[in-house]
Structure 1
Amino acid sequence: MAISFDGRVAIVTGAGNGLGRQHALALARRGAKVVVNDLGGSRDGSGASATAAEAVVAEIEAAGGEAIANAASVTDYAAVQAMVDAAMAKWGRVDILVNNAGVLRDKTFAKMELEDFRFVLDVHLMGAVNCTKAVWDIMRGQNYGRIAMTTSSSGLFGNFGQSNYGAAKMALVGLMQTLTIEGAKHDIRVNCLSPTAHTRMTEDLGARLPLELLGPEMVTPGLLYLVSEDAPNRCILGAGAGGFERIYVALTQGAWIAGDDAPEQIAARFAEISDRTGEIIPEMGAAQGFIELTKAQAAQAKA
């Protein structure tokens, strides 16, 4: 059955260019009313202009859709709240939030100023927190919500020169993990999209990438699924060049080790601890403690 967003209201941050623009246009094509948010700054977060957001709104309206532009910085909670209030005043609900806004300030950790580390965390992590907090009670009240965080392979697996960006992107996975638990009874589903696409965020890598395969439009189908009515919950979806993958945070069965020589035993048995046979995808953090206590009780029973 075709995925439709008729009657739904979506907020897409960082929607003036690149991935966010594609997400906003695609949601509108499938019937959503869209708040197109973009500060209009450069990729390092400097400057501001509503022009980019307004241009996307014009595209949506020219195609017969409904949209409003917003130039709030996601780091400013009061401005984010005003954006959500404007959506509620115009359309009476917010069903979908796409946390896409981001910046880059790449340097090796040795050369990075702490202010650049904080700023990237503030935009990616606290920006998503601010937007999610502003819509959370609305979604709880209507017993429906779909939220997508934009994570990255740089956070999930690491990337040279991106300690700030990687830390922020992995933090969004942790935010998702808890929000899925807290939002479940209100049918608020929260997922992460890990995109590979050529946008202005990756323009420095252009000569090394097959750009014709990496258009942001190849990622957006994954986003549409993650915020659809039949969306999964707690999914990290990799997407790029038409490829889609599921990414997991897993837990091995490990080993029970105790005694004065426990550090030495861990070293000697580290391959066993790392063995992925029987690994699980925990439903919540308590699973780790459960596995550990089960091993401890089994060891006591043998004593």
Structure 2
Amino acid sequence: MDSDNRLGTFLRARRQQVSPEEFGMAGGGQRRVAGLRREEVAMLAGMSADYYIRLEQGRDKHPSDQIVAALARVFSLDDDGTAHLRALARPAPRRTRAPRRPERVTPSLLRLMRTWSDTPALVYGRYMDVLAATPLAIALNSCSAPGVNQVRMVFLDPEARNVFPEWPAIAAETVAALRVSAGTDLDDPRLIELVGELSLKSEDFRRLWAKHEVRAKTAGDKRFLHPLVGEIAVSYETFTVNGAPGQTLVVYHAEPASDAEQSLALLGSMPAVDAPMSSSTPRR
């Protein structure tokens, strides 16, 4: 999945994403490699080329906070990306891994979600398995049913490209969110299994995973193409679930008096979806 030189792998991947033209340098056919050269990154970050090369090669794995900030600026990293870079530079000591318990949504949160009859909402876990969903969330998008892995669905389910009119953006967002969820714990057996499967079966996933984009889902807009009511444009907000590390609550909402609100009301008036409210067993 990633080499032991995780800091160097991240730096190399991010360097290749930066256009030389952003800094007024010649690009195009004059270059044999994508992005910036290592010497150019060093110059822009105010460090010696030898030191930056040592970072990429893994001969120095603990840059100072000032170096981290300078590299984040050169690579145009946002808060999530900078935090990830900082974590790679200051890795926590490895501990004996205890067996992970199945992820489950607390009964109190499930009770709360059962009162949201007019709201599409779902909870997904550390590996982006859907752990719970309201009936309207499932009616809006059957891929949000409990037990579905959102990453596997986006890349391996052919229907995903029909459900999401903006599939390329959704795919990139999903991989970046998985990177945030995984953090620097890339030895997690379940994560290794998931990334390994997707890397073998999806060229798109391999390409996006290799970019090392790190970006959490916080809020935004999303479009769904529904077979019964057509296109539905909604907004979403995400919330971390206190007391359940790695779990995220996603709540969708439509503009008042909009076509999307009417479409959601129509979906909500249909017979209840025959699916469980929650699950702790991911589907294959």
Comparing both chains, which one has the higher relative contact order based on Cα–Cα distances under 8 Å and sequence gaps of 6 or more?
Answer: 2
TM (norm. structure 1) is 0.27
